[in-house]
Amino acid sequence: MVMSTPLMIQALQGQTTSRPPVWFMRQAGRHLPEYRELRAKAPDFISFCLNPEMAAEATMQPMRRYGFDAAIIFADILLIPGALGQKVWFEGGEGPRLGALPSVEEMLEKAPHAGEALKTVGESLSLVRAQLDPSKTLIGFAGAPWTVATYMLDGEARTIGKGERAAARAYAYSEPQKVAAVLDALIESTAHYLKMQQDAGAMVLKIFESWAEGLPDDLFETLVLRPHQKLVARARELGVTVPIMGFPRGSAVHAERYARECDVDAVALDTACPLEIGKRVQQIKPIQGALDPLLLRVGGEQLDRRVDQLMEAWGNGPWVFNLGHGVMPDVPIAHVEQVLKRIGAQ
CB 28 within 8 A of CB 59: yes
Give Cβ neighbours of residue 317 (< 8 Å, ≥ 6 apart).
16, 279, 282, 283, 286, 287
Q: In 10 A of CB 19, how many CB atoms?
A: 14
What are the two backbone dihedrals, phi and then psi, of residue 259, each rounded to the nearest 5 degrees?
Answer: -65, -35
Is 64 part of the annotated catalytic residue set? Answer: no
Q: Please pick, among 19, 39, 97, 234, the residue that the annotation labels catalytic.
A: 39
Q: Please pick, among 26, 129, 165, 306, the residue that the annotation labels catalytic.
A: 26
Is 263 part of the annotated catalytic residue set? Answer: no
Largest CA distance in the chain: 60
What are the two backbone dihedrals, phi and then psi, of residue 132, each rounded to the nearest 5 degrees?
Answer: -75, 135
* DSSP tally for the chain: helices H, then strands E: 18, 9
Q: Please pick, among 35, 66, 151, 171, the residue that the annotation labels catalytic.
A: 151
Q: Please pick, among 35, 66, 69, 76, the residue that the annotation labels catalytic.
A: 76
Concatenating the DSSP letter of every residue in 82-115 gives: HHTT--EEEETTTEEEE-PPPPHHHHHHHGGGHH
Is 30 part of the annotated catalytic residue set? Answer: yes
What are the two backbone dihedrals, phi and then psi, of residue 209, each rounded to the nearest 5 degrees?
Answer: -105, 85
CA distance 248 to 61: 27
Task: Name the pairing type of β-strands 319-323 and 287-291.
Answer: parallel
Q: Please pick, among 19, 30, 236, 257, the residue that the annotation labels catalytic.
A: 30
CA distance 280 to 304: 24
- Active-site positions read 26, 30, 39, 76, 151
